[in-house]
Amino acid sequence: MALWWESLSQIQRAFAYVAFPATIILILQTLLVLFGLGENDADSSADAGADVDVDVDVDVDIDVDVDAAAGLDLDGDGIPDSVDADAGAGSSGLALFSLRGILAFFAVGGWAGIAAAGLIDSAFLAVVCAFIAGAVALYAVALLFKYTARLQSAGNLNLRNAVGKTATVYITIPASRNGAGKVHIVFQERYSELSAVTDEETPLRTGTLVEIVGVADENTLLVAQAEEVGSGIN
């Protein structure tokens, strides 16, 4: 590894500083999601942007300031995280700037830059190649999760079958139905990520255990904090 690192040029090392942490974080984040342990502290808000700070040897600070209705996808599932209560799995939009998409952009772009810099002498062309490869990865991830979400929504999920079951908040659910968050839940023998609203007077934060008490609309669950409902855990 040390010999390989010493053989890299300065531009290749610059690409490596981007590729290494992005690849590690992408792998860890994917594994956490696969095992149902992934959490996201990011809150969707109509007037607030998202601030993601990653600190792994290299500090990467990504500030994305957009209107939530524009289709920002913080959890990477291909569904824009709009605060509207009727925004859910049925959305057909393509959410390019998901967390996983951005990580894929830096990971694939970084490795492509290392390879390109080793094949051509122009640093500018290497950067162009890295950007193109990263953009392709970003778009591919967006398409992947769009079609995954479409397959999920095309299934025979009946949200009313989730009533009485418990779920875990993934994206904070605003209080008093002032917006929609997301929950992770297992029902109908399927692990699903669904939009949810609440009548609680305080927001339900990421990681909070909630109980499904109703269905707000065809794509959105109505939830309450599990301890306050007083029902058993399913």
Measuring CA to CA, how many Å separate 130 from each of 6, 66, 111, 125?
A: 21, 25, 8, 9
Least-confidence region, from 63-67, 96-100, 191-195: 63-67
> Could you give the percent of the chain with pLDDT greater than 90?
43
Q: Domains, the chain, ranges and CATH?
A: 2-154 (no CATH), 159-229 (2.40.50.140)
Note whether 231 and 164 are within 8 A (CB): yes
pLDDT band at 103 (very low <50, low <70, confident <90, very high): very high
Q: What is the mean pLDDT of the chain?
A: 75
Least-confidence region, from 26-30, 135-139, 173-177, 188-192: 188-192
Measuring CA to CA, how many Å separate 202 from each of 58, 108, 182?
A: 36, 41, 16
Region 190-198: mean pLDDT is 90
